[in-house]
Structure 1
């Protein structure tokens, strides 16, 4: 008999009651990671980035600080949004925000957990493992009528040494090399219209050849915004041929949504998972790279 799928890293997901019970823990560091993408037409860019700091200032989980993904944690010298900085640089940035080697970190976001999973995946890439996602994020916390505050929290600076895990983020060359490789499965986390090529948001419409589609909306409950049960998530990935024995490459528009799929695959026990950082923001604009539609 095949064992029922389960999330094998339960400490990396916390619920609202757990967080409410632990808000006073001295080593706890809680962060609002919200960013908004405002989709525009006729501007020559796929979206406008808006920090969630404004909504944080209107009300947030008591004692939580704010992380500005694009403004504080990304390589702003890159021509792509949200680019992963060098590991040592990123560790120093997290340390300035109060994350140290002994910290217990909880990450949350609004409207979409992909912002917190992006920060979680970045922490994992530099060797920090004691971080968790708040299941359902601020939306579930608020829907339950739990307390909020408007005063900004700033944690004291800490010390954090990077212990990089190579391969958790990959570039276009690694993705191109995997096309046609039967030992790899490339997954697009974007919506179906983008995967099929019906939407030219990022440039040339379409997808990386041979890639399959697991939109993040299909692995998150639409009402509670919590992760779907492990069996449902496992079945969705199995449907597209994402076998645990394969190397799994994930992409989206800019390396954000892909981390939510990656996080869940990690929870299901997959071991060889990589996120294409620049994703379609790069691929769709590079005429030298193949693309397919339909």
Structure 2
């Protein structure tokens, strides 16, 4: 007869999970992000799908995987049969990625008996443990209770204050390339950049062969960016891998830790930032800048031209680029375009699409005046020879 178990660490091995898999109060959650229910997919036996995107996020929020309400989290957790005395082990199919977000969500709602499976599903399979086909949970509704804990999650206004007043160490879990603006953001239209007064610690620095490093090695890693007495906010792209840092920090003995829910996706969208480095512009920013440049050739960007540009790029991109364009002289505008085009081979591969966009925008108001034609020809010469 199986018995109940307890947790002594926020991380457990696949060996531990296999040994305790028949415990009465064990709940295994598959917290893989961007996964949909599919009966042909493999999972750890008895696992229940924790749908971050649709069930455990505020889907009315424009930003991805946004923090849910107490009522929503409690309702969906109960629907998965989670009880007040449950012991939860969560995994994902990448090793340690979105599973840490699930772990942190439970902690933010006052539940401590939760741990991340070290190495996730890849480690489980590598150990040659049995798998099962994915199935819906149709068991008894649980009695889980959610109690929001202050300070676990930080939001835009909190980060503005923390960044400006330097009250917290803001640690960014994105790759060094993204943090240093040498590689683009994977989310289309999202500008490159960093939160002011933040430092970089890629979440991958905490992992080795898909497993979390030893407590000693984790402590060394965190020692380089923060003291244990510091107030710390972890950020990333959209609030997922920041939780990997939170997991490593907790194991390393850090207490004053929190996660920026919207992370760079929110910050990069809601702030204009500094666009004075054209080499860091996204393709959408470059397109918007060129179209704005052409539409202002006659010193009068019409409403229809504006609407055309807004049909091609996000309104936040448009606002950000417009703010920068208004600061630049005509000479600076040309230099910006030349530098930005050099960064994106995309346009070199298919400049015809870009020129078509320029012409369509210029014709949007029914006119293609002499000044717009001159600017178009000038740009065509520059872009083809640049």
Report the TM-score when normalising by structure 1: 0.85
- The C-alpha deviation readout for 1:12-31, integer Å capped at 9, x for no partner, is 21111111111111111101
In structure 1, how many angstroms separate the alpha carbons of the residues matched to 2:136 and 2:21?
13
Superposition pairs of residues 194-205 of structure 1, within 5 angstroms: 194-201=178-185, 202=187, 203-205=190-192
Deviation at 1:183, TM superposition (A): 4.6
Supply the distance in 1 between the matched residues of 2:136 and 2:24 (Cα, whole angstroms): 14
Greater RCO between the two (CA within 8 Å, min separation 6)? 1
User: Which one has a bigger Cα radius of gyration?
Assistant: 2
1:192 match? 176
Contact between 1:57 and 1:150, CA under 8 Å: does it hold in 2?
yes
Report the CA distance between 1:174 and its aligned residue.
Answer: 1.1
Hey, what's the Cα distance between the residues in 2 that align with 1:32 and 1:52?
A: 11
Q: What's 2:116 paired with? A: 133
Give the aligned partner of residue 213 of structure 1. 200
Give the direction of change, closer, same or farther, for the CA distance of 1:144–1:75 in structure 2 (3 Å limit): same
Stretches of structure 2 that go unaligned for 5 or more consecutive residues are 1-6, 281-386
Deviating more after overlay: 210-219 vs 152-161: 152-161
- Give 1:81 shift: 0.8
* Residue of structure 2 equivalent to 1:279: 263
TM value normalised by structure 2:
0.66
Q: CA deviation at 1:169?
A: 0.6
Runs of 4+ in 1 over 4 A off after TM superposition: 180-183, 288-294
Counterpart residue number, 1:26: 24
Report the 3-state secondary structure (helix = DSSP H, G, I; strand = E; otherwise coil) of the residue aligned with 1:254.
Answer: coil
User: Residue in 2 aligned with 1:38?
Assistant: none
The change in CA–CA distance for 1:64 and 1:193 in structure 2 (over 3 A counts) is same
Corresponding residue for residue 4 of structure 1: none
Number of residue pairs matched by the alignment: 268
- Which of the pair is proportionally richer in helix? 2
Where in structure 1 are there 5+ consecutive unaligned residues? 1-8, 36-49
Give yes or no for contact 2:95–2:123 (8 Å, CA) kept in 1.
no
When the two chains are superposed, the root-mean-square deviation of aligned CA atoms in Å is 2.1
| Native 8 Å contact 2:246 2:259 kept in 1 | yes
Q: Quote the residue 1:14 is aligned against.
A: 12
Distance 1:182 1:285, change over 3 A: closer
* Cross-structure match for 2:219: 234
Query: 8 Å contact 2:95–2:121 — kept in the other structure?
Result: no
